[in-house]
Structure formats: C-alpha cells, structure tokens
Copies of this chain bind each other. A is one copy, B any other.
Amino acid sequence: MKIILLQIDKTDQNFVEQGVQEFSKRLSRYVPFETITIAINKTIRNKTIEEQKLEEEKQLNSHLAKYDTIFLLDETGKEFSSLQLATQLQNILNSGKKNLCFVIGGPYGFTDALRKKHALISFSMFTFSHQLIRLLFCEQLYRAFTIIKGEKYHHQ
C-alpha cells in the first residue's frame, strides 16, 4: 500500500515546505509516501477562475485514473476526528488496495464535477491556503499512523 499526495503547483512558502519534509520523513517510517505536484502553466493563471479550475480538473483526471481510492481535501466535505481518520485509514490498509491518493486542489478549490465524483474530506470549517493545508495534511496523516501503531505522539 502506497499513499500519494497529489497537489497543484509547487509549494512556495519555505516554512510549509520544511514542515512537509519533516512529517513526510516521519511518515515514511510507516508507509511509502509520495508527493506528486502538477505544475499549471502560468498563462492559465491569467484566465478566469472557472477556466483555471477546469484546466486543473483535466490535469488531475489524467493522474486520478491510476489510483484505487481517492479523497479530495475540500471544505464542503465530511469532517473527521483524528481517531476517526486513523480508523478509516486502518480499514483501507486492511482492504488490500494498492494505493490511496489524497488530493489538494488549486487556489480556488475543485470543480463541482470533481467534487461529485470523489469522496470529500474536510480539515476545518476554516479556509486555509492550499499551501498551508499541505502541512496540516502531512501532520494529520503522520498522527493517524502513530494512533494506528499505538505510539505516543497523539494525546488523549
């Protein structure tokens, strides 16, 4: 089982990149973990928001076809507690699936078509930047594995 984080545009905030690297390193003790970054052509960023989201959808779809289980990180999705995420993850690990892909969208989020097609998971009622959410995601995935393994990182 491999976990993939699929994201749009490279991380441009240095502290986010550092944090992501820290948690990715810790995560790799538990599971093969890979980040795939889709680079959107800069000329696309001058188009309307809808056009940008459609271009991102097209590029995401060409990757998503490869994966067994997909979750989009989207604020309209279902919220989980850390324990619930760990349980969900344990079930997927037990299912014999080959890979699990989490997707963080572009600066304006996903198209409705993508939202309707895939399972959505929300991190918070708050909106966080599509950069910062990468760090939250990596910490939470690491936390879920420490819960599964009964290690002491997660309190309560």
Residues of A within 8 A of B (CB): 13-16, 18-19, 22, 79-82, 84-85, 107-109, 123-129, 132, 135-136, 139-140, 143, 154-156
Write out the residue numbers on chain B whose beta carbons fall within 8 Å of the beta carbon of A15: 15-16, 18-19, 22, 135
B127-A143 in contact (CB<8A): yes
- For the complex, give the distance between the alpha carbons of A84 and B125 in Å: 10
Contact across chains for A156 and B108 when beta carbons are under 8 A apart: yes
The docked-state distance in angstroms from the alpha carbon of A14 to that of B18 is 9
Copies in the complex: 2
Which residues of B sit under 8 angstroms from A132, Cβ to Cβ?
A: 19, 135-136, 139
Given contacts A79-B125, A81-B126, 15 further A-B contacts (CB under 8 A): A15-B18, A15-B19, A16-B19, A19-B19, A79-B124, A81-B125, A107-B155, A108-B155, A109-B155, A123-B126, A127-B143, A127-B154, A127-B155, A127-B156, A132-B139
Chain B residues, Cβ within 8 Å of A109: 155-156
Q: How near does chain B come to A137, taking the closest CB pair, in angstroms?
A: 10
With a cutoff of 8 Å between Cβ atoms, the chain B residues found around residue A123 in the complex are 124, 126
Residues of B close to A129: CB separation below 8 A: 139
A22 to B143, CA, bound (A): 25
Min CB distance, A38 to chain B, in Å?
19
Q: What's the Cα separation between A136 and B19 when bound, in Å?
A: 13
